[in-house]
């Protein structure tokens, strides 16, 4: 199954996330797993802050299908294991976070680190190495600011490397600006978005819907090959 022919782009708050993309410094073409809005609920108002897209390596579909083939989107949404298997899966992942309103880089990074710390503490992996890696991540955003439409790009490598890049739009830069070599933190950044204390249920729902359909097609394709 050629995923480039099976997936579509998504438009989230005027941001167009293409069906496929190439992570900085990688030769792997990743497909758009899902996308949605993240924001904050205040009294009588929901403030939309960013649009978030998550891309996955093609081998993610057969890998996840081993456990989740035949599951409906609602069943996947109810399964924390499903999303954590995406986080920990042995395949490349890329997250694009595009600003809807102007964002201060330090404030954004502090929010990310706060959520990462919560996740790391919950899984018992917040040691000295992780603390140093989170501090390094904070420093990457020092003196940064993001106007509406600008993006932060995280590449989550299966070998435990988190690459951070910046873009003036939703496109993926050819190179990252920093590398954080800590597998737990690389997972924590993604887990902060789609894990138990998720940032965006819209992103999770999009992942559940699209991956449920892709796993169904992958299963049908395999049966046809066997036949």
| Res. 75: pLDDT tops 70 | yes
CB–CB of 91/125 below 8 Å?
A: no
Strand partners, 121: none
CB atoms within 10 A of CB 38: 18
C-alpha pair distances (Å), 109 with each of 84, 120, 139, 141, 156: 22, 16, 9, 6, 17
Residue in this structure with the two tokens 């809807």, named with its chain if needed: 100
In this prediction, residue 72 carries a pLDDT of 97
- Domain-by-domain residue ranges, the chain? 3-220
Q: What CATH number was assigned to the domain covering residues 3-220?
A: 3.50.70.10
Token output for 202:
């819209």
Rounded to 5 degrees, what are φ and ψ at 85? -70, -30
pLDDT digits over 181-196, tens only?
A: 999 999 999 999 998 8
Q: What percent of the chain has pLDDT over 90?
A: 78
Residue 89 DSSP label: -
Tell me the average pLDDT of the chain: 91
Q: What percent of the chain has pLDDT over 70?
A: 93
What are the b/e assignments for 124-145, b being 16+ CB within 10 Å?
A: ebbeeebeebbebbeebbeebe
pLDDT digits over 120-158, tens only?
A: 999 999 999 999 999 999 999 999 999 999 999 999 999
At residue 161 the predicted structure's pLDDT band, cuts being 50, 70 and 90, is very high
**The pTM is what?**
0.93
CB–CB of 184/124 below 8 Å?
A: no
Q: Residues 161-179: what's their mean pLDDT?
A: 93
The closest alpha carbon to 152, from 5, 1, 15, belongs to 15
């Amino acid at each position: 199954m050629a995923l480039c022919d099976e997936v579509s782009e998504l438009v989230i708050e005027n941001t167009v996330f293409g069906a496929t993309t190439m992570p900085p410094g990688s030769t792997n073409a990743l497909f758009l797993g899902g996308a949605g809005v993240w924001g904050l609920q205040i009294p009588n108002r929901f403030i939309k802050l960013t649009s978030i897209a998550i891309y996955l390596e093609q081998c993610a579909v057969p890998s996840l299908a081993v456990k989740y083939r035949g599951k409906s989107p609602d069943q996947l949404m109810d399964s924390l294991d499903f999303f954590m298997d995406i986080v920990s899966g042995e395949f490349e992942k890329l997250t694009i976070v595009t600003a809807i309103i102007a964002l201060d880089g330090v404030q954004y990074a502090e929010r990310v680190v706060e959520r990462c710390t919560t996740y790391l503490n919950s899984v018992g992996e917040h040691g000295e190495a992780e603390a140093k890696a989170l501090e390094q991540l904070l420093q990457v955003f020092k003196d940064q600011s993001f106007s509406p439409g600008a993006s932060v790009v995280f590449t989550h490598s299966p070998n435990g490397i988190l690459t951070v890049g910046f873009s003036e739009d939703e496109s993926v830069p050819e190179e990252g600006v920093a590398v954080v070599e800590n597998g737990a933190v690389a997972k924590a950044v993604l887990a902060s978005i789609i894990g138990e204390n998720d940032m965006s249920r819209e992103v999770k729902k999009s992942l559940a819907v699209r991956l449920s359909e892709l796993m169904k097609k992958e299963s049908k394709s395999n049966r046809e090959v066997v036949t």
